[in-house]
Structure 1
Amino acid sequence: MEDSDDFLRLILDSIAENIAVIDEGGGIRFVNHSWSQFGSDNACSITQDWSKMNYLSVCDSAALAGDEFGMLAGNGIKSVIDQKEAYFNLEYPCHSNNEQRWFIMRVSPFELNKERFFVISHQDVTERKLAEKAVEKLARRDGLTNIYNRRAFDEILSEQWQQCLTLKQPISLAVIDLDHFKLLNDTYGHQIGDDCLIAVSALLKNFARRTGDVCARYGGEEFAVIWSYTTLLEALVLSKALLEEIRQLKIPNERSPIAPYMTASIGLVEMTPNRILETRDLIAQADDLLYQAKESGRNKVSSLIVVPSSAVENQN
């Protein structure tokens, strides 16, 4: 019984992975039940006779349609067929309209009666991938305020900088510091200080709703907002509104020499990325402007447009 075709087919049909066997030309010679069922469940037009399909042709068609993973899969299978690689693995997304899904495709060869064949299996790794993404999301979030942390800020700023460089669009960065936050902590205790940071973070989310907008906890009582594709004039309106909303929270800070409630200072800069400037230049300039705002009395915005040959500065 162990040598019968029916016995071996039953074994393969009981496996949860989607399995197909192709020949050296890419022709499909066998698919198991999981493979057929997946095709049926996902409205695949090929549900009856997979033996008439060529797997490499399907990959090539997908690649021509702009599917990067179709191209990678086709090239990987060919590398095993041509014996350039002993085997091939590829992790790829396969999302449906209702859920996110990821699979790992594995390609390995075998020989029977002097003819070479290739097993292609697709293993569902969605559960692992979602767990990884959940951990990654936590790693990018500030534990107290639940907005992006400094690590995520640096990564996202680099991404947005590159996009604005490609599109030749401006990017504005605001660095926000809560005025005399230490006095608030010393007067009311660290729990009230934490509540203050949480409340300000909730405000910041309202100022980072557009595509390319990001708010983050920059460190301690400092925050940052990235406004991509945004001029200084537009960012200045947002920054002034943010300062007013922080004031309107009326968070007590009675020992502050500015006001008996929490206020903030902002360093705001606009740059249009080029091949000379870098993200660190944007951050350094925003930090300098924040220092100027604090030195000139706090509770205000100090802003600057950086252009290749000159700069325009104002304080508000």
Structure 2
Amino acid sequence: MTSEQATTKALSRRFCVAPMMDWTTPHFRYLARILSKRALLYTEMVTTGALIHGDTERFLRHDVSEYPLALQLGGSDANELAHCARLAQQFGFSEVNLNVGCPSDRVQNNMIGACLMGHPDKVAEGVSAMIEATDLPVTVKHRIGINGRESWEELCEFIETVAAAGCKTFIVHARIAVLEGLSPKENRDIPPLKYDWVYRLKQAYPHLEIIINGGIKTFGECHEHLTHTDGVMLGREAYHNPWLLAEVDAALFGEPPAVTSRHEALRAMFPFIQQELDRGVYLTHITRHIMGLFLGQPGGRQFRRHLSENANKPGSGLEVVEQALAKVREPEPSLET
């Protein structure tokens, strides 16, 4: 599928699923797209070095059913970012996004992620090169600051500098990143959320598209944020409780739900699961992404236990998923809530 075909599928950032390392893999994204036709999905972050010097096909592999789908890049060299933006278009992605939010030591040492908040000119240079290289939308996902550069004025300087390079969409994680002393996990929880700062950004720069991210869990919260911003991005909640995505199309887009039951959603994955098994993928690499599908449902614990105990056995196949599904009662034919 060409990028032109991919982008004809409605791309809205009203509701997005955040890029998450080891989580938003092609297997999870396939399930997410079954649950919602409208949510914008993101890949895991892929570094420019991995794409240029590694197995490009493997890193960019995805199913056409996942569209609209954005590729998130980690990098800071303008020429490398431009090259990878061209690859994003060549492989049919709907958007290319630059990571300016990841706080891990490993990416900092390579001038990737949140440390770039301290180098707005370098981000602007990369964004400009990407825009020049592709017809795809180029967006930036970032924090509201980093330790040592956490004032409102410095945040505005970052936004204005990058916007001047042509970026029109900013996905804002409403926490600072502490680059020394906190782990990536702690950086997702310990720095306080400042949603009001993201709201103020939209007020200060109404011509820019501002998407809010960080700690959002419910549709009530989504609706509240959407009165102040252009879109919401959910991460961990959408992964651990994926059935939430089945309500997105109706709750946020006024469209019919894509599926009416968890059973229907999982059965719709069966051909894909078999296709992946035929490619040599281990079943456990797929089933770990569907563990949360029956969260809070009668039989959900037995479902998870059966997958945990059997999916990693040599030769495990689709029958393991079918057996796990049989442990959860089939609902009446109406949309679950």
User: Smaller-chain TM-score range?
Assistant: under 0.3
Which is richer in strand? 1
The two structures have a TM-score, normalised by structure 2, of 0.23
In our comparison, the structure showing a higher alpha carbon Rg is 1
Larger helix share, 1 or 2: 2
Higher relative contact order (Cα pairs below 8 Å, separated by 6+ residues): 2
